[in-house]
Amino acid sequence: MHRISEESIGKLKSLGAKKVMIQAPEGLKMSLIGFSKQLEREGFEVLVSVEPCFGACDIRDMEAKALGCDALLHIGHTDFGVKPAIPVVYEPFKIEYDPTRLLKNNMEELKKYKKICLITTSQFLSSIEKAKAILEKNKIKIYTGGHARAGTIAQVLGCDYSAALPFEKEVDCFLYLGSGKFHPLGLAVKTPKPVLALDVEYNKIIDYTKEGEKLRRIKAWHIEKARDMKSFAIYISSKPGQMYANLARHAKKKLEAKGKSVTIIVADMLTKEKIMGMEIDCIINCACPRIWEDFRLFGKVILNPEDVEKL
C-alpha cells in the first residue's frame, strides 16, 4: 500500500496547515482513501479531489482555497512552476526499479546504437544511474540532459522534452525507461530519430518511431485542411498551468489577419459535448500541447498555436 512520506507530512505541519486537500492522478485513485486516513491520523482535516489530474499543470488550488483548505497535497508529480493560490506540497510517486535484467535481455538490440539519450519520468528517476552505468559498460555513449521546468536530469514531461531534444543531432536514438506510451510517443512526434521505450510493464523494447511519424503526417494533413476553413475556436484551459491567454490573443490576431472568424473559448477540460452545436471548423489548442492528438474524440481538426503560421 502506498503511503504519504514523512517528509511531506512534515512540510504540511511546518505550514501550520489544519485542513488539507489531496489530489492524485488516475493511477493512484485506489490509494486516495488510504492517503486521507493517514493524514487524519496525523490530525489534519482532509478533503479528497476526485477530478481527473493530468499533471502538475492541473493543480486544484482554487477549489481547495474556496473550501477553506490551508494547503494542497499534490501526489504523483514534481513542481511545474505554477504559482498557486495556497501552498502546495508536491509528493512525487517514486518507483524503485532495477533495470538490470530488462537491459540485459535487450542489449543486443541496444548495441545497434552507439550514442543514446536516456530519459524517463519522475517515477523512475532512481533507475537512471544504474541504467546509464550498464549501457556505458557495453560501450554505448549515454547523454542525459536537464529538464527545463524542474531542472531534473533525464526527466521528461508530456509537454517538455528539453532533457532530450538538445541532443537530437548527436545521438543515434532516444531511449525511454518507464511504462506507458504517452511520454515516448510525445517525443517521437517531435523528432525523426528513433525513439525506443524500455517498457518495465511489458519487459521489452517498444519502438514508437513509426507511430510518431504517422502523427506528424496527420498533423501536416490537418494543417492543409485548416487552410480552407473559416470558423476557428481558440481553446484556453482554466487549469492554472495551461492558461495561455496571451498565446491565444496572439493566435487570434494572426488568424483574423488571414480572414478567419475566431472565437476564444474557455473550459477546465474540453470535451466534444461542451462544443456541440457550435459553428467550429477548427480548434486552436492553447492548453496542453498534447490535446491535438485526441482529435478523433472531438471530430474536429485541432492544431497548436505554432501551426497557425503555416496556414
pLDDT surpassing 90 at residue 58: yes
pLDDT surpassing 80 at residue 308: yes
Nearest-5° Cα angle at 294, 290 to 298: 130
Q: What is the mean pLDDT of residues 203-226?
A: 97
Residue 27's pLDDT band (boundaries 50, 70, 90)?
A: confident
- Of 34-38, 92-96, 137-141, 228-232, the range with the lowest mean pLDDT is 92-96
92-116 per-position pLDDT tens digit: 888 899 999 999 999 999 999 999 9
Contact 62, 35 (CB under 8 A): no
Residue 149's pLDDT band (boundaries 50, 70, 90)?
A: low
pLDDT surpassing 90 at residue 242: yes
Mean of the per-residue pLDDT values of the chain? 95
Q: Is 219-310 a CATH 1.10.3720.10 domain?
A: no
Q: What pLDDT is attached to residue 93?
A: 87
Q: Is 100-207 a CATH 3.40.50.11850 domain?
A: yes
Q: What pLDDT is attached to residue 290?
A: 95
Fold entry, domain 6-91:
Rossmann fold (3.40.50)
Q: What pLDDT is attached to residue 92?
A: 85
12-21 per-position pLDDT tens digit: 999 999 999 9
Q: What pLDDT is attached to residue 81?
A: 87
Q: What is the mean pLDDT of residues 159-170?
A: 95
d(CA 26, CA 268): 17
3-state secondary structure 211-280: HHHHHHHHHHHHHHHHCCCCEEEEEEECCCCCCCHHHHHHHHHHHHHCCCEEEEEEECCCCCHHHCCCCC
Q: What pLDDT is attached to residue 80?
A: 85
pLDDT surpassing 90 at residue 9: yes
Share of the chain above pLDDT 90, in %: 91
pLDDT surpassing 70 at residue 65: yes
pLDDT surpassing 70 at residue 150: no
For residue 202, the SS3 value is: coil
Domain spans of the chain?
6-91, 100-207, 219-310
Q: What pLDDT is attached to residue 151?
A: 65
pLDDT surpassing 90 at residue 216: yes
Distance, C-alpha 121 to centroid of its chain: 9
Of the candidates 163, 101, 107, the residue with the CA atom closest to the CA atom of residue 127: 101
pLDDT surpassing 80 at residue 244: yes
- The position carrying cell 543514446 is 116
Query: In CATH terms, are 6-91 and 219-310 the same topology?
Result: yes
